[in-house]
Amino acid sequence: MRLCRIVVLMAAVSLAACTTANRPAPLTVTYIANTGFLIECADRKILIDALFGGFAEDWCFVPSDSVVELMTAAKPPFDHIDLIAVTHAHTDHFNPRLVIDHLMHNRRGIVVCPAQTVRKMEIDPRYADLKGRIHIMPMPTDSISELTIAGIGVKAFRTPHLHAADAHRDIEHLEYLFNVGGRMIFHTGDSGLNDVRRYEGYGFGKKPIDLAFVSW
């Protein structure tokens, strides 16, 4: 098992102006595989695009079997996860069985995800007992939905998957902006990053983002 743990240091200039009382909380990021990360801040834990695996491919990094085992059993560092976010239903971001396995061992975790991912979870007989903890985010194109889960602000942007004009036209895809412990954390999933006008429309560039996970 190899987990890469990063304590993210923020710009000293902006922090210097903050008092201790309003200084954002320390942020710890653990890389899982592909676009999967564990984010820890202010006693909150977010797992995004991390619950997948069980296959071996050379086109993406996949969590090792031992990491999958820890995640599904909700064992440290994957214990007490507050929020499980899924950007889309591709197998290198999401495995319905692994999400449900994790929820069975983590009674506090809430999932936010596109409807397409829910349709894959619904066929598991355990889904009925868990559906109250699974939030389907609205899917109109270019929509932005907001909710708060365990004190974590969640904004979901309904955006196209990379190469949406052809192969991935039918994929329901979300980007997320989390507000936790005074930190703004952005995750693009598999979105293309060339639509500057769209990001300007979201207000990006006016407010600082502390940390962005971007597809490249």
Rounded CA-CA distance 126/142 in Å is 32
* In the complex, least distance from residue 162 CB atom to Zn ion, rounded to whole angstroms: 7
Specify the residue, 149 or 162, whose C-beta has the smaller distance to Zn ion: 162
Whose Cβ is closer to Zn ion: residue 132's or residue 216's? Answer: 216
Distance of CA 64 to the CA centre of its chain: 19
CB of 107 to Zn ion, least distance (A): 30
165 class by beta-carbon count within 10 Å (0-12 exposed, 13-18 middle, 19+ buried): exposed
By the 10 Å C-beta count (0-12 exposed, 13-18 middle, 19+ buried), 205 is classed as exposed
The least CB distance from residue 102 to Zn ion, in Å, is 20
CA dist 69 and 47 (Å) reads: 15
Q: How far is the CB of 92 from Zn ion (least distance, A)?
A: 7
Identify which of residues 175 and 190 has a Cβ nearer to Zn ion in the complex.
Answer: 190
> Could you tell me if 73 and 98 are in contact, meaning their C-beta atoms sit under 8 angstroms apart?
no
CA distance 212 to 192: 14
Nearest approach, Cβ of 171 to Zn ion (angstroms)? Answer: 6
Q: Which is nearer to Zn ion, 90 or 187 (CB)?
A: 90
* Of 109 and 114, CB closest to Zn ion: 114
Q: Which residues bind Zn ion (CB under 5 A)?
A: 90, 190
